[in-house]
């Protein structure tokens, strides 16, 4: 079945510095889409980015990610993090045309001043 | 925009009793509804996926007999946890999507189930 692997545990970054949260995957599907969700404490997971196009950069709210099928990766990056970016980040894969998402275990981003 | 509401937000039930939770989509047609459980370790487990005009598909380790789901129209779904025990504790998330947004799932804030 599908699987998603993320940087596990806690990533701590100083405000204003860049961050990259890793996401790699395994899937047998050729028709795939990828998502990053952000979940703040006691809130719903919110869609941050999505992509299904190889080698195309996708951006939203200062975050960006590029799907690289050659390396099976969809890493999330931001050039300058803010304190408000502290949250849980989940990478997810959808294989085929149905709505089922396979999630990674999540990465907790903590931004310190 | 696409919004998903879940209620109740929190609930406590006695061991062996049942609890029903609801999910409402606003601003779009929920042609697909996926129910997940988020563990205390924050991982997501898919319980089942419901798509209109198709049978509800349950994941391994989850059954209709334990987690019956209803998806009667394009804005509402409910799931019941029957005979709840300690291992059923967690945050139950509803993700709803429609064909026009390529089945991107939008999530509610969840129903947190505690079992005494």
Contacts of A105 in chain B (CB under 8 A): 41-43
Full 3-state SS string of B54-114 = CCCEECCCCCCCCCCEEEEECCEEEEEECCCCHHHCEEEEEEEECHHHCCCCEECCCEEEE
Give the rounded distance of the alpha carbon of A49 from its chain centre: 7
**Is B77 an interface residue toward A (CB < 8 Å)?**
no
- The residues, ordered by sequence, that sit 6+ positions from A84 with a Cβ below 8 Å of its Cβ are A111
**Is B85 an interface residue toward A (CB < 8 Å)?**
no
Quickly state the pLDDT bin for A103 (edges 50, 70, 90).
very high
List the beta bridge partners of residue B26. B3
Backbone φ and ψ of B35, nearest 5°: -105, 130
Please give the structure tokens belonging to residue A6: 């993320």
Proportion of chain B above pLDDT 70, given as a percent: 97
Residue in A with minimal Cα distance to B32: A99
A49 and A58 Cβ atoms separated by less than 8 Å: yes
pLDDT digits (tens, 9 = 90+) for B23-73: 999 999 999 999 999 988 888 999 999 998 889 999 999 999 999 999 999
Among A4, A34, A98, A99, most B C-beta atoms within 10 A, so best to mutate, is: A99
Q: How far is CA A112 from CA A61, A63, A87, B103, B110, in A?
A: 19, 18, 12, 36, 28
Contacts of A43 in chain B (CB under 8 A): 109
Sign of CA dihedral A93, B7, B48, B46: positive
Sign of CA dihedral B50, B55, B59, B65: positive
Domain B3-10+19-104 fold is Immunoglobulin-like (2.60.40)
Contacts of A88 in chain B (CB under 8 A): 42
| CATH class of the structural domain A3-112 | mainly beta
Q: Rg for chain A (alpha carbons), in Å?
A: 14
Contact (CB<8Å) B109/A90: no
Proportion of chain B above pLDDT 90, given as a percent: 84
- How far is A67 from A36, CA to CA, in rounded Å? 11
């Amino acid at each position: 079945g599908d699987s998603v692997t993320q940087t596990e545990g806690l990533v701590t970054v100083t405000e204003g510095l860049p961050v990259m949260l890793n996401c790699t995957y395994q899937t047998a599907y050729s028709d795939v889409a990828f998502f990053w969700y952000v979940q703040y404490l006691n809130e719903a997971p919110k869609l941050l980015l999505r992509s299904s196009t190889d080698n195309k950069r996708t951006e939203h709210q200062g975050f960006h990610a590029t799907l690289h099928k050659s390396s099976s990766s969809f890493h999330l990056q931001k050039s300058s993090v803010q304190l408000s970016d502290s949250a849980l980040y989940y990478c997810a894969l959808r294989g085929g045309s149905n709505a089922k998402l396979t999630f990674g275990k999540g990465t907790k981003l903590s931004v310190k001043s | 925009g696409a919004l998903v509401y879940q209620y109740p937000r929190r609930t406590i039930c006695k061991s062996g009793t049942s609890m029903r939770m609801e999910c409402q989509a606003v601003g779009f047609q929920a042609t697909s509804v996926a129910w997940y459980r988020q563990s205390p370790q924050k991982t997501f487990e898919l319980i089942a996926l419901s798509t209109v005009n198709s049978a509800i598909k349950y994941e391994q380790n989850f059954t209709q007999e334990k987690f019956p789901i209803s998806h009667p129209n394009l804005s509402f779904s409910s799931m019941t946890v029957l005979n709840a025990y300690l291992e059923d504790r967690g945050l139950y998330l509803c993700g709803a999507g429609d064909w026009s947004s390529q089945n991107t799932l939008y999530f509610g804030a969840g129903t947190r189930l505690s079992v005494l």
